[in-house]
Amino acid sequence: MTSKQHTAEHGSQLEQVNGFTNPGIPEHKPRVTDSSPAAERMAERQIAGWFILSMIGTLWFIVSYFLFPIEDGSMGSIRLQNAMLGLGATLALFSIGVGIVLWAKTLITDVEVVESRHDIAGSEEDQAIALEIINQAKEESGIARRPLLRNTLIAAVAIAPLPALLVFRDLGPLPGDSLFKTLWGPGVRLVQDPGMVPHEDRYIRAEDVTIGSAFHVIPEKMYESEHPLNEKAKAAVLLMRIDPQELNTDPAKEDWGVDGIVAYSKICTHVGCPVALYEHQTHHLLCPCHQSTFDVTNHCAVIFGPAKRPLPQLPIAVDDEGYLVAQRDFVDPVGPTFWEINTRETSEQ
Amino acid sequence: MKLLAARRRHPMALVVLLLVGLLMTGGAYAVFTTNSTASAEEYTAQDVEEGEKLFVTNCATCHGMNAEGTENGPGLVGVGAAAVDFQVGTGRMPLQMSGPQAQVKTPQFSEEQISQMSAYVASLGPGPAVPEDEYLDASQGDPAAGGGLFRTNCAMCHNVVGSGGALTRGKYAPNLSEVSEKHLYEAMQTGPQNMPIFNDANLTPEQKRDVIAYVREVSEQPSAGGAKLGSLGPVAEGLFIWFFGLAAVIGITVWLSARSK
């Protein structure tokens, strides 16, 4: 609250602040409306015009509510009414805003004004009073004279958050080996993913998987497990049949497929999107999220994109009744890489 | 253009722009209908004979004189009548030019000629036949069950409402909204281009009909919220807001802070 308030001497305060010259306020240039009464009247009419337009918008809203009724919930009439009401409301509100802004810009005085901030520090008088209050409190509470009270209080406050740390345990059990294991296991039949809770599992015969086919597969009895969707997020598999001559099979994985039928995890090794865009002529599997591309003929090696590991292959076989079954769980962990991925030898079981 | 440039800074220009944007958002869209007249046909010996003539004059260059295939085209023994009906009926074959994948164009042959070619190719070896009308009637299908199947088997390439999407190296999954019921069925049955094959063990004829019912249902559903922007999801909608919404915000900001003359 000093005498600096409300001063505006254009270009006169050339003072040095932090090594920079303060250029001051630019010269005030009068507007057309300041000098020409005709322009002023024109601006006034314009602004009034915007306010009148706003009234028209409001009236249009009311009129169109009756002019464009909703007929039997027909989508076309709902859309027409929405568009017309929206047009009215937009005109009504937007025009008021434009009018006010125009008013401020053309008619209200635009002479620059400087209004200084008050000092950040309080006055010496206030500071002295505050210090006095603190000293008084120190004296009356005796906190300096009674170290036992002071120290026990500090200790009590310090350990008070510990229970909160304890209840973090209730956020859930540690993942344990759940990142390494899925519902697949020896003899688990492959069933078709029905896209919804099925009446019964549809098993898959090897003969049904013709060349060029792609089956979206889940483990049998998945919907009877405790958390079916959690299980599906790990166990989903894409089953394809490719001419065995086109497959470059790793000798160590020779018996992981059945006569050209191969099964790969559908969970991308990048961030876990379902990799299911299968091109049956190029044998490329494409992930829709980040375009990681896997070559099915080379054990789903990554040929493009951000994924770092090939899609894990599910070793499959045919059981006595001719249905496709898993030989065992995935050898490599499915899905995105995680910190502990190398903490376990994958060759157990 | 000079007129446009002169009016660019006119106070009304912003309002006009805004109105254009609003009208585009709420703009009307065309409702389309497709009719299909499919029938499982009995082919006569004459159909096969006529079909062979058509095949030799129009297809044999790439597919070989006996449809055994050449370097330029796959063999057609065993692909069945459904594949011919789909490829020729949608205009994909005869191929107009080589490229990442065959393009849809106006069919070059009449229904009868397509049927004759189908008859010839079907006579070469057993394969899927042209579907029966019973399985093409979307009104008999269950769109809800079809939706589950569609989202599991089709949506990753064709988008959840069948608007299509990109594949690798210039290939793409086409928009399904204007594909006829018969061609939808045949595409599932035969796996054209890079699309996997969904044989009757994978999706039964009834399930294929459910899928068709779902595609019809979602592509004919009117959009209450204005233009669908291709039903392509957040990318298209985001781009619209990015260009038009942000441009409007920037325009208004500039106008607010500009000094009056």
Buried-state track B116-152, b at ≥16 Cβ within 10 A, e below 16? bbbbbbbbbeebbbbbeeebbebeebbbebbbbbbeb
**What's the pLDDT tens digit per position in A219-254?**
999 999 999 999 999 999 999 999 999 999 888 898
Query: Does residue A79 belong to the interface with chain B, where contact is any CB pair within 8 Å?
Result: yes
Paired tokens of B76: 């057609």
Residue A119 confidence (pLDDT) above 90: no
Predicted pLDDT at B8: 66
Nearest CB among B28, B173, B194 relative to A280 is that of: B194
Per-residue confidence band for A89, with pLDDT thresholds at 50, 70 and 90: very high
List CB contacts (< 8 A) between B159 and chain A: none
Q: Do A284 and B168 touch (CB under 8 A)?
A: yes
- A74 or A160: whose pLDDT is higher? A160
**What's the pLDDT tens digit per position in A4-57?**
444 445 444 556 667 788 777 778 888 888 889 999 999 999 999 999 999 999
List CB contacts (< 8 A) between B171 and chain A: 279
- B125 or A264: whose pLDDT is higher? A264
Of B40, B54, B37, whose CA–CA distance to B120 is shortest? Answer: B54
Which of A100, A192, A266, A291 is the best substitution to test chain B (most B C-beta atoms within 10 A)? A192
Q: Cα separation of A187 and A328, whole Å?
A: 7
- B4 or A152: whose pLDDT is higher? A152
DSSP β-bridge partners for residue B117: none
Of A141, A154, A217, whose CA–CA distance to A183 is shortest? Answer: A217
Which of B24, B193, B202 is the best substitution to test chain A (most A C-beta atoms within 10 A)? B202
Predicted pLDDT at B6: 63
Residue B41 confidence (pLDDT) above 80: no
Query: Does residue B35 belong to the interface with chain A, where contact is any CB pair within 8 Å?
Result: no
Query: Which of A151-155, A156-160, A209-213, B41-45 shows the lowest mean pLDDT across its residues?
Result: B41-45
Predicted pLDDT at B103: 87
Residues A172-188: what's their mean pLDDT?
88
Residues B168-194: what's their mean pLDDT?
91
DSSP A245-305: GG----GGGGGGSBTTEEEEE-B-TTT--B--EEETTTTEEE-TTT--EEEGGGTTEEEES
**Contacts of A136-139 spanning 24+ positions with Cβ under 8 A:** none
Q: What is the bridge-based pairing of β-strands A214-219 and A237-241?
A: antiparallel
Per-residue confidence band for B138, with pLDDT thresholds at 50, 70 and 90: confident
Per-residue confidence band for B31, with pLDDT thresholds at 50, 70 and 90: very low
Predicted pLDDT at A310: 95
- Chain centroid to Cα B177, Å, comes to 6
Q: Cα separation of A311 and A296, whole Å?
A: 9
Query: Does residue A73 belong to the interface with chain B, where contact is any CB pair within 8 Å?
Result: no
Predicted pLDDT at A330: 93
Predicted pLDDT at B3: 59
End-to-end CA distance of chain A: 82
Start-end of CATH 1.10.760.10 domains in chain B: 42-130, 137-221
Predicted pLDDT at A47: 96
Of A259, A255, A296, whose CA–CA distance to A278 is shortest? Answer: A296
- B37 or A42: whose pLDDT is higher? A42
Residues A320-337: what's their mean pLDDT?
93
**What's the pLDDT tens digit per position in B193-203?**
899 999 999 99
CA distances, B170 to each of A163, B91, B100, B102, B160 (Å): 58, 19, 6, 11, 21
Domain ranges of chain A: 1-117, 137-171, 190-342
Q: Which residues are CB-neighbours of A233 under 8 A, at least 6 positions away?
A: A267, A272, A335
Q: CA-nearest residue of chain B to A292? A: B168
Q: Cα separation of B202 and A190, whole Å?
A: 13
Residues B3-8: what's their mean pLDDT?
62
* CATH no. of B137-221: 1.10.760.10
Query: Which of B36-50, B78-92, B166-180 shows the lowest mean pLDDT across its residues?
Result: B36-50
Query: What does pLDDT average to over chain B?
Result: 83
Query: Does residue B197 belong to the interface with chain A, where contact is any CB pair within 8 Å?
Result: yes
Q: Judge: domain B42-130, CATH 3.40.50.1100.
A: no
Predicted pLDDT at A19: 79
Paired tokens of A341: 């991925």
In chain A, DSSP finds a helix count (H) and a strand count (E) of: 7, 12
Nearest CB among B145, B150, B167 relative to A277 is that of: B167
DSSP secondary-structure letter at A116?
Answer: P
Predicted pLDDT at A265: 96
Residues B175-196: what's their mean pLDDT?
92
Q: CA-nearest residue of chain A to B148? A: A195
Query: Whose structure tokens read 């079981």?
Result: A349
Q: Cα separation of B16 and A57, whole Å?
A: 15
Residues B65-76: what's their mean pLDDT?
88
Alpha-helical runs (H) found in chain A: 32-35, 37-67, 75-106, 124-141, 147-159, 162-167, 228-235
Predicted pLDDT at A162: 92
Which of B189, B194, B207 is the best substitution to test chain A (most A C-beta atoms within 10 A)? B194
Distance (Å) from the alpha carbon of B75 to chain A's nearest alpha carbon: 14
Share of chain B above pLDDT 90, in %: 34
Query: Which of A82-86, A103-107, B37-41 shows the lowest mean pLDDT across its residues?
Result: B37-41
Size of interface A-B (CB pairs under 8 A): 109
What architecture (CATH level 2) is domain A190-342?
A: 3-layer Sandwich (2.102)
Predicted ipTM > 0.90? no
**What's the pLDDT tens digit per position in B230-249?**
788 788 888 989 999 999 99
Residue B29 confidence (pLDDT) above 80: no
**Taking a C-beta distance cutoff of 8 angstroms, is the pair A292, A304 a contact?**
yes
Residue B184 confidence (pLDDT) above 90: yes
List CB contacts (< 8 A) between A267 and chain B: none
Predicted pLDDT at A33: 87
**Taking a C-beta distance cutoff of 8 angstroms, is the pair A116, A8 a contact?**
no
pTM of the model: 0.71
Predicted pLDDT at A11: 47
Which of B151, B152, B157, B193 is the best substitution to test chain A (most A C-beta atoms within 10 A)? B152
CA torsion through residues A211, A213, A219, A224, sign: negative
Paired tokens of A87: 């047009």
**Taking a C-beta distance cutoff of 8 angstroms, is the pair B124, B67 a contact?**
yes
Share of chain A above pLDDT 90, in %: 60
Residues A303-322: what's their mean pLDDT?
94
Predicted pLDDT at B7: 65
Query: Does residue B17 belong to the interface with chain A, where contact is any CB pair within 8 Å?
Result: no
